[in-house]
Chains A and B, each alone.
Chain A
């Protein structure tokens, strides 16, 4: 305890490897990117200082608004859907039934596969002519759809696939959360004659809320950065740009249209959005969370 007055240089040694790499490949580039967002730069020529022009342009860019709307659409549908599904599955799996291991593996299977590979598979499933989905519809005499090529259906298709892909991850986290709920609470509730629904409302849901909050925050951050499946499954941002999301838009601006400064301006607006949303969640939503 006497050592406390000296600066503890030793402690920093433990941080050196991680922070060395983070500084070099994450922190520095962030500042570099921020700097570039004040320039017009096509990657090949010299960068030209334009001040806040890139940010000002954003407000007049209809495609930017469109990408915002699409991103919110994706987030608002996929996050609650994924949480509802994975929580239900976790609740089902939290029963003393046989075959838990098998179920758990099956639900986790999509998580361990790459988005690249499963996007190829789902592309085929959604194919209007040879796809499984239209064949299933035909079985029940429903008309075939264009799915990923249809401006209405493209986003729901992406969402369905994304939920399928990420479900297992959340199931595992919810299961871990459920394990932490003391068993005696249920026993007491049962003695009091509470039925299944009452138990869920008064014990499971509130005590699971820290986990739910964690899943909610992480899924929201993830859903605002959705990119790979859009890139792999709907070229050019989908039919009538119906799956054009923010990260895809910034990717397209940077690597297809070579407006690098503008792309990074988009990235920073996104960063601020995610940051403030996380802050909002932390400050207001977390108040509703029940910590034991």
Chain B
């Protein structure tokens, strides 16, 4: 792919059409995010506005020449609120206007402040990072070892074991929740980091994926190395791992995403606030906030942003790996 980009830009007329189609699709893909971020900066008054006009930018970020009649009215009202509030701070006597307490007027980051304070999200982020990194690295090591064995070794029951492993992917996770929970409780792991991490260190999908990749490596290479007195573990470390960087990066990213975004499992296996992960926190916050869209969008935004940042960081590796691995059945 990267070689294509480096080619000189050809002024091919058909490319205009391609760009047009891709841009239209991009707008559809990205608009929900834009809408989410914009809404997260809006006050409830702005959000609960109905009517035909679509106001994309929040009041406090919009250049004034874009304001319609209604917007101007709302902004003026907001300004008045601000002044009233400032006055009420200055003299407590005027703290009630017309029998009602003067409320603090909305500020741009209020939704974020409210959402962030509603749950110990800081701890949730730490827990999520911990589980995601541990699971990603751990499952990659374990899966590549198993895939290596499946691809290169001959041993009894190999096919049966492989089939058994594939079979585990076909039952919905919801059906296994309670039995898993009982096993965890027998191990005294309920409500510990172990429960969050250990069961996910084995991924049948990763083993399958890596095996497919290892199968493409020439078998002679392995046999020649064995004859040269190379041990199997050496071959794994010196040949297999360095060669399998692309699929490992792909799997790593998906494993990280999967863990970051997992919800039902951590919800069931942990109780304490100090063990909660980000998705559980988000869902708790969602049931608390009900239909308060502003803080909800703010919370959604800050649970998504770290992932997007990380994706950009890992993207280069990822693109290369995708280009190289290819899907050969």
Contacts and interface: CB of A to CB of B under 8 A. Distances in A.
Question: Is any CB of A less than 8 Å from a CB of B in the complex?
Answer: yes
B29 A167 contact: yes
Pick from B32, B54, B296 the residue with the most CB of A within 10 Å.
Answer: B32
B174 A107 contact: no
Interface in A18-41: 18-22, 24-30, 32-33, 36
Pick from A129, A168, A176 the residue with the most CB of B within 10 Å.
Answer: A176
Interface string A163-195: 010011000110111011000000000000000
Contacts of A30: 167-168, 171, 176
B293 A124 contact: yes
Interface stretch (B70-78, B82-90, B92-100, B321-329): B321-329
Contact of B1 (A20, A105, A179): A179
B326 A179 contact: yes
Interface of A: 4, 7-8, 10-12, 14-15, 17-22, 24-30, 32-33, 36, 43, 89, 92-93, 95-101, 103-118, 120-122, 124-125, 129-130, 132, 135-136, 138-139, 164, 167-168, 172-173, 175-177, 179-180, 210-211, 213-214, 221, 225, 227-228, 247, 250-251, 254, 260, 263-264, 267-268, 270-271, 274-275, 278, 289, 291
A270 B282 CA distance: 30
Contacts of B61: none
Nearest to A17: B142
Contacts of A116: 261, 263, 279, 282-283, 286, 303
Given A116-B263, A135-B54, A97 B15 contact: yes
Given A18-B146, A177-B327, A213-B329, A28 B179 contact: yes
30 contacts: A8-B153, A10-B232, A11-B149, A14-B148, A18-B146, A24-B183, A25-B183, A25-B198, A29-B176, A29-B183, A32-B182, A33-B176, A89-B25, A92-B21, A103-B22, A109-B29, A113-B33, A114-B304, A115-B261, A121-B35, A121-B297, A125-B32, A138-B51, A164-B32, A176-B326, A227-B174, A247-B174, A250-B172, A263-B175, A270-B171
B315 interface: yes
Given A18-B203, A103-B26, A275-B167, 18 more contacts: A11-B149, A11-B154, A14-B149, A18-B165, A92-B18, A95-B15, A97-B15, A105-B315, A106-B29, A109-B308, A112-B307, A117-B304, A120-B296, A124-B297, A130-B49, A132-B31, A180-B328, A228-B263
A213 B329 CA distance: 9
Contacts of B251: none
A132 B36 CA distance: 11
B142 A211 contact: no
Contact of A4 (B10, B154, B168, B172): B154
Q: Nearest 8 pairs between A and B by C-beta? A: A267-B175, A29-B179, A21-B202, A114-B261, A14-B149, A32-B179, A25-B199, A117-B300
Contacts of A105: 311-312, 315
A96 B7 contact: yes
B117 interface: no
Given A125-B35, A176-B326, A251 B174 contact: yes
A10 B152 CA distance: 13
Contacts of A251: 174
A162 to B, nearest CB: 13
Interface of A is mostly: helix
B180 interface: yes
Interface of B is mostly: helix
A81 to B, nearest CB: 13
B54 A136 contact: yes
A174 B246 CA distance: 16
B300 A43 contact: no
